[in-house]
Amino acid sequence: MKYAFPDALNENAKALIDLCRDKNVRLSTIESCTGGLLAGCLTDIAGSSDVVDRGFVTYSNEAKNEEVGVNLETLMEFGAVSAPVAKEMCACAMARRPIGAAASLTGIAGPGGATADKPVGLVYIGIATRDREPVAHRYVFDGDRQDVRTAAVAEAIELLIAAVSETDS
């Protein structure tokens, strides 16, 4: 079967789908800088509808607030590209749906948009499960816009595999 994503990424996505199916965990994705690529990668796998509940693309601050409920105060205080926002994106998705895990991605894929303290390639990946509070992981990925976005999706899948592995069945 021909997939839209690199083989290694698809193999990990399939492993995550299988793991979630085995553990009876449904997933949601909340994406900004990746624009739905994580959801696209997961749903590229046949049978993903068994575990993928929904994906949100919340590119603007308004979308983060209106679609998943991120507080405008959090966005104003920390900025969209921040650990608090990544965690809140996950927490809000978990609160709205009976899901077992969520991943959020917010960052600066480039080539523009960087500041002195927020460089191109900076991505926060939030991970939450029904068994633990949301956590945010900070990365600075190298490469062009596509490299950053692909690396962020790959890392989110790895983090979800680790988190779902630790959940109770």
The answer to whether residue 82 sits within a structural domain is: yes
State the Cα–Cα distance between residues 111 and 133, nearest whole angstrom.
33
The answer to whether residue 139 sits within a structural domain is: yes
The answer to whether residue 4 sits within a structural domain is: no
- In which domain, by residue range, is 142 found? 9-165
Query: Mean pLDDT, to the nearest integer, of 147-154?
Result: 97
pLDDT, residue 4, reads 76
As for how many domains the chain has, the answer is 1
CATH of the domain at 111: 3.90.950.20
Higher pLDDT, 138 or 169: 138
How far is CA 49 from its chain centroid?
Answer: 17
Percent of the chain with pLDDT over 70: 98
pLDDT, residue 43, reads 96
The answer to whether residue 84 sits within a structural domain is: yes
The answer to whether residue 150 sits within a structural domain is: yes
Catalogue the E-assigned strands of the chain.
Answer: 27-31, 52-57, 101-107, 122-129, 132-140
Q: Are 30 and 90 in contact (CB under 8 A)?
A: yes
State the Cα–Cα distance between residues 114 and 124, nearest whole angstrom.
14
The answer to whether residue 1 sits within a structural domain is: no
- Model confidence over 72-95: pLDDT tens digits? 999 999 999 999 999 999 999 999
User: 68-75 contacts: CB < 8 A, separation 24 or more?
Assistant: 68/30, 68/92, 68/93, 68/96, 69/95, 69/96
The answer to whether residue 27 sits within a structural domain is: yes
The answer to whether residue 2 sits within a structural domain is: no
3 pLDDT above the threshold of 90: no
